Chain A
Amino acid sequence: MESFLGYSIKILPFLLKGMQQTLILTAASATFGTLLGLLLALARIAPARFVRTVAGGYVTIFRGTPLMLQILFIWGALPEIGIVLPDTACVIIALSMNAGAYIAEIIRAAIQSIDRGQMEAARSLGMSYGLAMRRVILPQTFRRLLPPMVNELAALTKDTSLAMVVGIVELLKASQQQQSQSFRPAETYVWTALGYLLVTITLMSLANRFEKKLEARG
C-alpha cells in the first residue's frame, strides 16, 4: 500500500482544483448574499408596509425550506421556464438567495439595536431617512454585525459543499471521487477538513483583526 505521503501528493492536485471551485462559490455567494441581505434588511424596516411584507415573506420562505431543495429548485426549475444557466451560476444564485435571507435578519437586528435617538438626531438636522441610514445608522452597526456575520459566512463556506448534488466538483465532491477510487476515506477526508478549516480560520482571523481596529477607535 502507498504511504500516506505518497497518497497525499497524488490526490492533492485534485483536491486543490475542488478547493478552487469552493472558493469561487463562497466568494461569489458571500458578496451577492451580503448585498441582497442589506437590501432585504432595509426593506424589512421600510416605512412602506407593502415592502416590509414582501421582504418578510421572502425571508420566511428561504429560512423555512432546505437549502438543498433551493439549489435543486433553481438548478432544475429555471430551465423549465427557459432560463438556462451554467451549473455554477445556479448554485451561486441559490446560495446567495439563501444567505441573503439570513444576513437580512442579522443586519435588521443590528439596525434595530441602534438607539432610536440616533435617527431622531439625524432627522432633526434635516437629514433624509436614507442619508441618516447611510451616514449615521449603518456605520454604527459594523461592530455588532461582525460576530454574527462571521458565523453566517463560515456556514456559507461549508454549505457550498451542497453544490455536489448538481454535479459541481468542489472540494467535497473532489474528495469523494478520490476516495471512491482509493478506498482510503480517512486520509482523504482529513485533507478535505483541513481545506475547509483553512477558509473558515482565515475568515475568523480577518474578522478578529477588523474588530480590534474598530475597537481602537473607541
Chain B
Amino acid sequence: MAQPILQVQGLHKSFGKLEVLAGINLEVQQGEVVVVIGPSGSGKSTLLRCINFLEVPTQGRILFKGEEVGQKDVGGKLVSLPERVLDQQRTRMGMVFQRFNLFPHMTALENVMEAPVQVRGLARGEAEALGMKLLTRVGLAEKARTYPPFLSGGQQQRVAIARALAMEPDVMLFDEPTSALDPELVGEVLQVMKDLAKSGMTMIVVTHEMGFAREVGHRVLFMDGGVVVEEGKPEQIFTAPQHPRTREFLSKVL
C-alpha cells in the first residue's frame, strides 16, 4: 500500500480531567471515505477537530502526507509549529461544520472566494470563476449573490462545502454535516457528499446518517468512550458487528 495520506498515532485529548480521546490510531488512504459513527460524547468530533488542529492534542501525532501537523516531537516533547506552517497545512484540509459557520456578512459567492483571494492570493476574477464553478457543482449557482441568512440550512451547508473545496484540499473533514438540518434538507447535502466521494476525494465523515455510512463509506469506525471500538467494511459493521457495544449502538439507531 502507498503511504497513507493521513495518519493518527496514539492520539489523546483531555479537557481538564475529562479524557475525550484515549488513544486513537487511524490511517486513511488517498481517495478513501472513512465514516466515523458512535454515540454522542464518544469523541468523534474531537478526533476530527484534532486532525486539523482546531483542538490541540494532549498527546500523540497527526501526520498529513507524512508531515507532522501543528506540533513536532522534539526529543520527546511536543513543540508547536509556527502558526504560518499550521495555516499552510490547514489549507490542504477542508472542514465542514455541523452549524455551517458561513460568514453572514458575505454573499454565498464571497464566502467561497474569500480564502482563495486572501490566503491563496488568487485574483478576484479567477476566484470568482472558481467560486461559480463550485457553486454550480453544489447546485447553487443561482444563489451566488444571496446572503447566508436568506438560504435554507441545506443550501448553507452546500455553500460551506463549496467554500471548503475552494482551497482545493487533499482531504475533506465533515463534522456531523447534516445534524443541524431539518429532515427534508438532509438528502441534498448527502447527495453533494456522495458526488464528492465518487470524484475520488479523501473524506472523513462524522455522521449519524447510517444509510450514508453504508452506501458511501469504504470503511466505518465505531467509536465509544474515546477509543475506536470496532472498524471494518460497512457491510461487516452493519450486518455482523463483533463488539457488543457496536451491536447495542446499532440496535438503537437502525
With known contacts A125-B115, A126-B88, A127-B119, A117–B101 Cβ distance under 8 A: yes
Looking at the assembled complex, report how far the CB atom of B96 sits from the nearest CB atom of chain A, in whole angstroms.
Answer: 9
Query: With an 8 A cutoff between CB atoms, is A164 at the interface?
Result: no
Interface string of B75-106 (1 = CB under 8 A from A): 00000000110011011011101010111110
Looking at the assembled complex, report how far the CB atom of B127 sits from the nearest CB atom of chain A, in whole angstroms.
Answer: 13
Contacts of A193 in B (CB 8 A): none
Contacts of A135 in B (CB 8 A): 114, 118
With known contacts A121-B101, A217-B147, A218-B147, A128–B84 Cβ distance under 8 A: yes
Looking at the assembled complex, report how far the CB atom of B36 sits from the nearest CB atom of chain A, in whole angstroms.
Answer: 18
On whether the beta carbons of B83 and A121 are closer than 8 Å, the reply is: no
On whether the beta carbons of A136 and B167 are closer than 8 Å, the reply is: no
Looking at the assembled complex, report how far the CB atom of A79 sits from the nearest CB atom of chain B, in whole angstroms.
Answer: 44
Contacts of B99 in A (CB 8 A): 115, 117
On whether the beta carbons of A127 and B103 are closer than 8 Å, the reply is: no
The A/B interface has a contact count, at CB < 8 Å, of: 66
Q: Which residue of B is nearest A134, CB measured?
A: B118
Query: With an 8 A cutoff between CB atoms, is B164 at the interface?
Result: yes
Query: With an 8 A cutoff between CB atoms, is B249 at the interface?
Result: no
Query: With an 8 A cutoff between CB atoms, is B155 at the interface?
Result: no
Contacts of A187 in B (CB 8 A): none
Query: With an 8 A cutoff between CB atoms, is B149 at the interface?
Result: yes
Looking at the assembled complex, report how far the CB atom of A218 sits from the nearest CB atom of chain B, in whole angstroms.
Answer: 5
Contacts of A115 in B (CB 8 A): 99, 101
Query: With an 8 A cutoff between CB atoms, is A139 at the interface?
Result: yes
Segment 149-167 of B: residues with Cβ below 8 Å from A: 149-150, 160, 163-164, 167
Query: With an 8 A cutoff between CB atoms, is B52 at the interface?
Result: yes
Query: With an 8 A cutoff between CB atoms, is B54 at the interface?
Result: yes
Interface string of A166-187 (1 = CB under 8 A from B): 0000000000000000000000
Contacts of B114 in A (CB 8 A): 125, 135-136
On whether the beta carbons of A139 and B105 are closer than 8 Å, the reply is: yes
Q: Which residue of A is nearest B148, CB measured?
A: A218
With known contacts A117-B97, A120-B97, A217-B147, A125–B119 Cβ distance under 8 A: yes
Q: Is the interface of A mostly helix, strand, loop or mixed?
A: helix
Looking at the assembled complex, report how far the CB atom of A181 sits from the nearest CB atom of chain B, in whole angstroms.
Answer: 55
On whether the beta carbons of B91 and A121 are closer than 8 Å, the reply is: no
Contacts of A131 in B (CB 8 A): 118-119
With known contacts A135-B118, A218-B147, A125–B90 Cβ distance under 8 A: yes
With known contacts A124-B90, A125-B115, A126-B91, A136–B103 Cβ distance under 8 A: yes
On whether the beta carbons of A121 and B87 are closer than 8 Å, the reply is: no
On whether the beta carbons of B119 and A124 are closer than 8 Å, the reply is: no
Distance, CA A124 to CA B115, complexed state (A): 10
With known contacts A117-B101, A125-B163, A129-B83, A218–B115 Cβ distance under 8 A: no
On whether the beta carbons of B150 and A120 are closer than 8 Å, the reply is: no
Distance, CA A120 to CA B48, complexed state (A): 13
On whether the beta carbons of A123 and B97 are closer than 8 Å, the reply is: no
With known contacts A217-B147, A218-B147, A128–B87 Cβ distance under 8 A: yes
Query: With an 8 A cutoff between CB atoms, is A118 at the interface?
Result: yes
On whether the beta carbons of A121 and B97 are closer than 8 Å, the reply is: yes
Segment 97-138 of A: residues with Cβ below 8 Å from B: 115, 117-118, 120-129, 131, 135-136
Q: Which residue of B is nearest A218, CB measured?
A: B147
20 A-B contact pairs sorted by A residue (CB < 8 Å): A115-B99, A117-B99, A118-B101, A118-B103, A120-B97, A121-B97, A121-B102, A121-B103, A123-B54, A123-B90, A124-B52, A124-B93, A124-B94, A125-B119, A125-B163, A125-B167, A126-B88, A126-B90, A131-B119, A140-B105
Given A124-B54, A127-B119, 15 new contacts (CB under 8 A): A115-B99, A115-B101, A117-B99, A118-B101, A121-B101, A121-B103, A124-B94, A125-B94, A125-B164, A125-B167, A126-B90, A126-B115, A128-B87, A135-B114, A135-B118
A residues touching B (Cβ–Cβ < 8 Å)? Answer: 115, 117-118, 120-129, 131, 135-136, 139-140, 217-218
